[in-house]
Chains A and B, each alone.
Chain A
Amino acid sequence: MFILVENVSFTYLPNTPFAVQALCNVSFAVERGESVAILGRTGCGKSTLVQHLNGLLIPQEGRVVVDGVDTRVRGAALREVRRKVGLVFQYPEDQMFEESVFREVAFAPRNMGVEGEELENRVRWAMTVVGLDYDALKDKSPFELSGGQMRRVAIASILSMKPEVLVLDEPTAGLDPQGRTMLLGKLWELRKQWGLTIILVSHNVEDVARIAERVVVLDKGKIVFDGSVREFFADEERMRQCGIIPSPLLQAAFLLRRKGFAIHPPLAPFDFYLEIKEKVLAGKRPCSVEM
């Protein structure tokens, strides 16, 4: 087992009147190379959970084991976990501190001993993957960037350490539609190329449809669903119970199913278009052809 989360509970401000139990006996496991989406309502514990995966938070109860190492260890072994598991924060500002984009993206690989030309190549590569113009932006301050540019720097600065697991907390929030499609496409490629394991927190059903194979849903700190994307998207009622509103595409598919058409829940507009032609409009000729 690559990543094991076992009976993890976590409470913020424990033993105070403001105590908030964010995770309650959470267990799941991720195999190398998997692509898992974590969903759930606001405040259900997603960010808290993913911060456990690289040892940023240590379970108060239960344990998290990454490639055989329990995150409750300290020192070198914990640093090894942090190197293997790259975490991109929900708010990019929370992870930035360097005065230039170059230094920001170079920070992690430099700490790992990468230097000189190799470092520069690494930074250039990471910035290109997220669609940032290396020459135009490398000397800018990260704090003088637009929101979406900052998000891209945050992702690049984790990618640059070439982690084995990439954990992304709302990675597409703030990205423009094309940037979003490009990023998800690149992540998919990296998965194929390196066997990268991807764990993604997202409120966006379309992102999930595009990149994840498995869905884990949290509700008030507990796991309430763990299964395949197809299984999750096939059940409208369960989606809504979990606080997920189906995408417009899925809504249209559900409407057609209620009218008796055997439409599969589509993952992309083009699939849906083909299915409509085959199953809804079959036998009906466009009038331009009749004429």
Chain B
Amino acid sequence: MISFEDVHFWYGERESESKVTPVLQGISCVLREKEFVVLLGRNGSGKSTLAKHCNGLLLPKKGAVLVDGMDTRDTSVLWEIRKRVGLVFQNPDNQLVATTVEEDVAFGPENLGLPPAEIRKRVDEALEKVGMIEYKKREPHTLSGGQKQRVAVAGVLAMRPKYLVLDEATAMLDPEGRAELLQLLQELRDEVGILHITHNVEEALLADRVLVIDGGRIVAEGHPREVFLVGRAIEQWGLELPQIVDVALLLWKDYPDLFKVLPLSPHELVDALCSYS
């Protein structure tokens, strides 16, 4: 479990808290093993800052982040934490460092000190999973936006982390690539704890749990069916409703007995409509 305990954070080494507006203002939340959590929130609300706390890339100024009980501020366990928590950055250019795609993906496993044959296997497997195996000899900077993003994801998968933190990893993917990555996340669900940051509210519908952050605080939390029941009031956090939920809530107001539970998918909506008499 990754657990945030009243985490406060602000940028700037020397600044004291009174001079700045902290970016994280008392975050308490958890990511359990094998749990799929989606984190939503407006631009600048603190999502990437929170993500970088999960593997000790940033350290809390107050409070603590614990990964399976290990404190990220304890330098003696930082290595073990980095092994367990894989982080995909918002901009893949910040992640792709090597001269070929396969070296890039091998970078993590090499650092784990794995034997070459095992590295080979993991690299091929990871590139296969994201559909980039044919590109393994290419230089990362010659790839298109979406291709880079896939390689960045492969690099983290090859580490076989116990927790996966994805910071807008679907942002540049084409619809098929997005669907494939979401499918892959569904498959990983039984093995890996996933924290998926996205602006696409439709993706939140797949989550076990949705977290909404605003102004550095967690302002809503729960199953998507509960969280989206707030209706258009969700706009107070810079968000909008998923399309089907939006339509369903409008209809529900006019026809109070149309749904038993809030439909989330096109199928759920259409089934309810067709069985209504």
Interface residues of A (CB under 8 A from B): 12-13, 18, 20, 40-43, 47, 90-91, 93, 144-149, 152, 170, 173-181, 203, 205-206, 243-245, 247-249, 251-252, 255-256, 259, 269-270, 272-273, 276-277, 280-281, 284, 286-288
Interface residues of B (CB under 8 A from A): 11, 41-44, 47-48, 90-91, 93, 138, 142-147, 150, 168, 171-179, 199, 201-202, 235, 238-244, 246-247, 250-251, 254-258, 265-267, 269-270, 273-274, 276-277
Residue of A nearest to B276 (CB): A284
Task: Name B145's contact: one of A18, A91, A287 (CB within 8 Å).
Answer: A91
Is A91 in contact with B267, judged by CB distance below 8 angstroms?
no
Task: Name B144's contact: one of A42, A179, A273, A280 (CB within 8 Å).
Answer: A42
Task: Name A42's contact: one of B11, B177, B269 (CB within 8 Å).
Answer: B177
What are 9 A-B interface contacts by the 8 Å CB criterion? Answer: A13-B142, A42-B172, A148-B44, A175-B199, A203-B173, A248-B202, A251-B266, A252-B247, A277-B254
The smallest beta-carbon distance between A39 and chain B, in angstroms, is 9
Note all chain B residues with C-beta closer than 8 A to A179: 42-43, 238
Q: In the complex, what distance in Å separates the CA atom of A277 from the CA atom of B255?
A: 10
The smallest beta-carbon distance between A145 and chain B, in angstroms, is 8
The smallest beta-carbon distance between A95 and chain B, in angstroms, is 13
Note all chain A residues with C-beta closer than 8 A to B251: 273, 276-277, 281
Q: In the complex, what distance in Å separates the CA atom of A276 from the CA atom of B274?
A: 11
Q: In the complex, what distance in Å separates the CA atom of A147 from the CA atom of B43?
A: 7
Is A175 in contact with B247, judged by CB distance below 8 angstroms?
no
A281 with B255, Cβ < 8 A, contacts A245-B179, A255-B266 known: yes
Across the A-B interface, the 10 shortest Cβ-Cβ residue pairs? A148-B43, A42-B146, A252-B266, A177-B240, A245-B175, A269-B246, A251-B266, A286-B255, A176-B42, A273-B250
The smallest beta-carbon distance between B203 and chain A, in angstroms, is 11
Is B258 in contact with A249, judged by CB distance below 8 angstroms?
no
Task: Name A247's contact: one of B91, B93, B243, B276 (CB within 8 Å).
Answer: B243
Q: In the complex, what distance in Å separates the CA atom of A252 from the CA atom of B202?
A: 14
A176 with B199, Cβ < 8 A, contacts A18-B138, A170-B172 known: yes
Task: Name A243's contact: one of B42, B175, B241, B277 (CB within 8 Å).
Answer: B175
Task: Name A203's contact: one of B174, B241, B256 (CB within 8 Å).
Answer: B174
Is A269 in contact with B43, judged by CB distance below 8 angstroms?
no
A42 with B174, Cβ < 8 A, contacts A170-B145, A251-B266 known: yes
A178 with B238, Cβ < 8 A, contacts A147-B91, A203-B175, A245-B175 known: yes
Is B48 in contact with A146, judged by CB distance below 8 angstroms?
yes
The smallest beta-carbon distance between B248 and chain A, in angstroms, is 9
Is A18 in contact with B270, judged by CB distance below 8 angstroms?
no
Is B48 in contact with A245, judged by CB distance below 8 angstroms?
no
Q: In the complex, what distance in Å separates the CA atom of A40 from the CA atom of B177?
A: 12
Residue of A nearest to B167 (CB): A147
Q: In the complex, what distance in Å separates the CA atom of A149 from the CA atom of B44?
A: 7
Is A178 in contact with B173, judged by CB distance below 8 angstroms?
no
Q: In the complex, what distance in Å separates the CA atom of A72 from the CA atom of B177?
A: 35
Is A180 in contact with B178, judged by CB distance below 8 angstroms?
no
Question: Which one of B11, B202, B251, B265 has the highest number of Cβ atoms from chain A below 10 Å of its Cβ?
Answer: B251
